[in-house]
Chains A and B, each alone.
Chain A
């Protein structure tokens, strides 16, 4: 079906104000945070309601037109990158948020920003448990489709761990609800968790119901500096091994700290850092912070600071907050990798990153939500040309190594276009290649015509 016909039919179905196809719009929507590939869609639909999405999916399914759901386009692995001759559905106009305090549930439409949902929860003394680093820009629909995680992952897990129910529009236009605003549901196959993390390949998630958790009342922060990067990784492991349950455990290596000092004008000790937040009642907070500090010293920290003062806490966190922006500002082309390993394997991973960085002669820093074994190698390049020759092979080696350690090639960013080969490698290593076929069969059940975000996650 040609572009003009698709556009005119969509305009008939939805009204012309909801369908956009000017050259500038097609050009702009061809870009996402995945800088490796871009493709112009046929048209973009602004979805204001579940009904709008249903109309598009019914039409697209009948005429076999590919559909790419999109929130803010923040996927760094190409999940929201348009495919050839596709309709992009921009869900950001769908942004209703309802906080149900008595039931401890927050309901949000797909286009609401994660941070916005968190702010609504906090008005009532709660918080949204999942906090991706991109929370200010990432949408609920995108976070669900990608099973996003974040700093509090060690405590609360990823989106799938806090989601109670979702509303999904299927190819063909049927709208189904999986789960709902209840904390328990034992009613057969758990289809909801098939859709969470499906990267838009099965249908369009238009709404979700989520657990809220009480916002912590008293929080303290311990910051430890290590001369040796492997000791820092060991420190994280020791904290967990000894039974502490921090709110966050963040890690960053000295390469990132040095660069942040230079680029952002900071003045932090140029060492490997571990940042730990503990939330406990005031009476036991200080003593617990001291215990945590002692464990980190014993693991090899040369300097440890702890505080409960909010201003000081914020000051100590500045360098972590500036980690990704540092790479973005320092290099014309940068890429953030993603892997997750058992905690005991963290020292081996950080060692491997250093080896690979030196082998390919490129800058690779390391940050991560280390408390759940999730690390992000940050690659900085002076030219995009180095992506295929150096950066990608380096990342494939690092993320591939995480498989050898019993880990996975993605903790929270997903597979998208970027990691399809690595997913196969991981399944092969587990002697579970048949899983790919199961995944294809599942896709055929929900999306028999293969219109949903083709070319992503699986081929």
Chain B
């Protein structure tokens, strides 16, 4: 939802009336768990602070802005007895604070990096394009099908980006294009409340896609999927493109009987990314794709599907509170079934966050994306 200041003032008060402060949202909040259960960091507290700011009971100030940032995982929404779209309300408060010039300095740097260097990680565009070096050949720059790596896959998980490209190429034919200087889709700008800059950046990204001649866009990033498809539609940007998260694409092929046979003797667990599961509603699709791999056994984590616990990697929370974000990741890793050493997910932020925490703790756990596993499953086993 995109709010003007007037709409925000009107709507947030209207919506907040329905919050009964029942507290059912609080126990599932990952941020509250790693914040000593201090109410201001939980969903009810976030909402109340928003209410205080909008209705005048609280003076907006930097400390408040810092507390408003959560992972936007949306687990609270699942528990909200009034069925409020809480993450939209949190974003509305962020937008309000942004309008008031109270965006926290750390996330301001992210916005600056996107507007300056076309990625939130503040790296040169040439570094973002380095994932292409993992490929056996230089991909086409034009084609009907485009693989959109997204900033996090490209910069933080180059092997996953490479696997995704190769897999899509094998499944879709040779005309799979890649944009060498892929711009950021702008999603973090939206998360920071800078809606105008987000629209500009999103338009820039869509123009680059159109220039490639693509009709179908497949990405490994569920946040990019939300941005390019859902948010663009909400903003009234008609682009005529078919945007898929790679799991959605694979699932469509599976249902059409066009997914090749995969085989891998392995026991894995699947972590539902919040953006793909709760926000895009794709819970059964990744499992059906994974279950199509002969010999593979999925053992569910404690907390899965719509009730999956967050990894700590979303909502720019990590930028604001890095230590706590990794404590959330640590909690998520404790949800793994005993005796399972492979964790598969379908989001580059989840992959990066969980993999980093695995390294921090020195755990014997491998973190993979669905495409990494499928590439492994298509090769003859040694």
B48: CB under 8 A from chain A?
Answer: yes
* Chain B residues near A333 (CB-CB < 8 A): 17
- How far is B82's CA from A328's CA once the two chains are assembled, in angstroms? 5
Q: Given A22-B63, A46-B37, A325-B83, answer yes or no on A33-B57 (Cβ-Cβ < 8 Å).
A: no
Contact of B52 among A27, A32, A115 (CB under 8 A): A27
- Are A329 and B40 neighbours in the complex by a CB distance under 8 Å? no
* Chain B residues near A90 (CB-CB < 8 A): 37-39
Q: Given A93-B36, A328-B82, answer yes or no on A134-B48 (Cβ-Cβ < 8 Å).
A: no
- How far is B37's CA from A113's CA once the two chains are assembled, in angstroms? 12
Instruction: Mark the stretch among B19-27, B94-102, B187-195, B339-347 that contacts chain A.
Output: B19-27
Among A29, A31, A46, A48, chain B packs the most CB atoms within 10 A around the CB of: A31
B125: CB under 8 A from chain A?
Answer: no
Contact of B21 among A46, A73, A93 (CB under 8 A): A73
Contact of A35 among B20, B40, B45 (CB under 8 A): B20
- How far is B235's CA from A434's CA once the two chains are assembled, in angstroms? 67
Among A28, A73, A328, chain B packs the most CB atoms within 10 A around the CB of: A28
Q: Given A23-B58, A324-B81, A328-B82, answer yes or no on A28-B23 (Cβ-Cβ < 8 Å).
A: no
* Chain B residues near A22 (CB-CB < 8 A): 40, 63
Interface bits A13-39 vs B (CB < 8 Å: 1, else 0): 000000010111101110111010000
- How far is B39's CA from A29's CA once the two chains are assembled, in angstroms? 7
A374: CB under 8 A from chain B?
Answer: no
Chain A stretch 294-334: residues in CB contact (< 8 A) with chain B = 324-325, 328-329, 332-334
Contact of B49 among A28, A33, A116, A134 (CB under 8 A): A28
A355: CB under 8 A from chain B?
Answer: no
- Are B18 and A329 neighbours in the complex by a CB distance under 8 Å? yes
B67: CB under 8 A from chain A?
Answer: yes
* Chain A residues near B327 (CB-CB < 8 A): none
- How far is B37's CA from A44's CA once the two chains are assembled, in angstroms? 12
B79: CB under 8 A from chain A?
Answer: yes
Among B22, B38, B64, chain A packs the most CB atoms within 10 A around the CB of: B22
A272: CB under 8 A from chain B?
Answer: no
* Chain A residues near B57 (CB-CB < 8 A): 27
- How far is B39's CA from A48's CA once the two chains are assembled, in angstroms? 15
Report how many residues on chain B are interfacial, defined by Cβ distance under 8 Å.
30
State how many angstroms separate the Cβ of B338 from the closest Cβ of chain A.
13
- How far is B24's CA from A35's CA once the two chains are assembled, in angstroms? 15
State how many angstroms separate the Cβ of A288 from the closest Cβ of chain B.
33
Chain A stretch 104-141: residues in CB contact (< 8 A) with chain B = 111, 113, 115-116, 134, 136-137
- Are B63 and A24 neighbours in the complex by a CB distance under 8 Å? yes
A92: CB under 8 A from chain B?
Answer: yes
State how many angstroms separate the Cβ of A33 from the closest Cβ of chain B.
5
- Are A24 and B49 neighbours in the complex by a CB distance under 8 Å? yes
A198: CB under 8 A from chain B?
Answer: no
A74: CB under 8 A from chain B?
Answer: yes
Contact of B23 among A74, A115, A116, A328 (CB under 8 A): A74
Chain A stretch 71-107: residues in CB contact (< 8 A) with chain B = 72-74, 90, 92-93
* Chain A residues near B59 (CB-CB < 8 A): 23
Chain B stretch 26-40: residues in CB contact (< 8 A) with chain A = 26-28, 36-40
Contact of A325 among B36, B63, B81 (CB under 8 A): B81
State how many angstroms separate the Cβ of B56 from the closest Cβ of chain A.
11
Interface bits A128-159 vs B (CB < 8 Å: 1, else 0): 00000010110000000000000000000000
State how many angstroms separate the Cβ of B334 from the closest Cβ of chain A.
14
- Are B37 and A93 neighbours in the complex by a CB distance under 8 Å? yes
Among A93, A116, A136, chain B packs the most CB atoms within 10 A around the CB of: A136
* Chain A residues near B44 (CB-CB < 8 A): 28, 31
Q: Interface majority SS on A: helix, strand, loop or mixed?
A: mixed
Contact of A137 among B24, B40, B49, B82 (CB under 8 A): B24
* Chain B residues near A325 (CB-CB < 8 A): 81-83
State how many angstroms separate the Cβ of A92 from the closest Cβ of chain B.
4
- CB nearest to B25 among chain A residues: A137
- CB nearest to A29 among chain B residues: B39
* Chain B residues near A72 (CB-CB < 8 A): 23, 26-27
- Are B81 and A33 neighbours in the complex by a CB distance under 8 Å? no
- How far is B22's CA from A32's CA once the two chains are assembled, in angstroms? 7
- CB nearest to B83 among chain A residues: A329
State how many angstroms separate the Cβ of B34 from the closest Cβ of chain A.
12
- Are B38 and A25 neighbours in the complex by a CB distance under 8 Å? yes
* Chain B residues near A111 (CB-CB < 8 A): 37
- Are B27 and A332 neighbours in the complex by a CB distance under 8 Å? no
- How far is B158's CA from A179's CA once the two chains are assembled, in angstroms? 61
Interface bits A204-221 vs B (CB < 8 Å: 1, else 0): 000000000000000000
- How far is B40's CA from A33's CA once the two chains are assembled, in angstroms? 15
Q: Given A328-B18, A332-B18, answer yes or no on A73-B23 (Cβ-Cβ < 8 Å).
A: yes
- Are A20 and B38 neighbours in the complex by a CB distance under 8 Å? yes
State how many angstroms separate the Cβ of A192 from the closest Cβ of chain B.
27
- How far is B41's CA from A92's CA once the two chains are assembled, in angstroms? 13
* Chain A residues near B23 (CB-CB < 8 A): 33, 72-74, 134, 137
* Chain B residues near A24 (CB-CB < 8 A): 40, 45, 49, 52, 58, 63-64, 67
Contact of A136 among B18, B79, B82 (CB under 8 A): B79
- CB nearest to A115 among chain B residues: B27
- Are A137 and B58 neighbours in the complex by a CB distance under 8 Å? no
- How far is B58's CA from A27's CA once the two chains are assembled, in angstroms? 8
- Are B63 and A134 neighbours in the complex by a CB distance under 8 Å? no
* Chain A residues near B45 (CB-CB < 8 A): 24, 28
- Are B38 and A46 neighbours in the complex by a CB distance under 8 Å? yes
- Are A134 and B27 neighbours in the complex by a CB distance under 8 Å? no
State how many angstroms separate the Cβ of B59 from the closest Cβ of chain A.
7
- How far is B23's CA from A31's CA once the two chains are assembled, in angstroms? 10
Interface bits A59-77 vs B (CB < 8 Å: 1, else 0): 0000000000000111000
- How far is B64's CA from A137's CA once the two chains are assembled, in angstroms? 25
Q: Given A24-B49, A137-B27, answer yes or no on A32-B21 (Cβ-Cβ < 8 Å).
A: yes
State how many angstroms separate the Cβ of B166 from the closest Cβ of chain A.
41
* Chain A residues near B28 (CB-CB < 8 A): 136
- Are B26 and A33 neighbours in the complex by a CB distance under 8 Å? no
- How far is B44's CA from A325's CA once the two chains are assembled, in angstroms? 16
* Chain B residues near A324 (CB-CB < 8 A): 81
Among B37, B45, B64, chain A packs the most CB atoms within 10 A around the CB of: B37
* Chain A residues near B64 (CB-CB < 8 A): 24
* Chain B residues near A27 (CB-CB < 8 A): 48-49, 52, 57-58
Q: Given A27-B57, A31-B48, answer yes or no on A328-B22 (Cβ-Cβ < 8 Å).
A: yes
- Are B36 and A46 neighbours in the complex by a CB distance under 8 Å? yes
* Chain B residues near A20 (CB-CB < 8 A): 38, 40
- How far is B41's CA from A93's CA once the two chains are assembled, in angstroms? 14
Contact of B48 among A28, A44, A113, A329 (CB under 8 A): A28
- Are B21 and A136 neighbours in the complex by a CB distance under 8 Å? no
Chain A interface residues toward B at CB < 8 A: 20, 22-25, 27-29, 31-33, 35, 44, 46, 48, 72-74, 90, 92-93, 111, 113, 115-116, 134, 136-137, 324-325, 328-329, 332-334
Chain B interface residues toward A at CB < 8 A: 17-18, 20-24, 26-28, 36-40, 44-45, 48-49, 52, 57-59, 63-64, 67, 79, 81-83
- 7 additional A-B residue pairs with CB within 8 Å, beyond A28-B45, A31-B21, A73-B39: A27-B58, A28-B39, A33-B23, A44-B38, A90-B38, A134-B22, A136-B28
Closest 7 interchain pairs by CB? Answer: A92-B37, A325-B81, A332-B17, A328-B82, A328-B81, A72-B23, A28-B45
Q: List 5 A-B contacts (CB under 8 A).
A: A29-B39, A35-B20, A116-B27, A137-B27, A334-B20
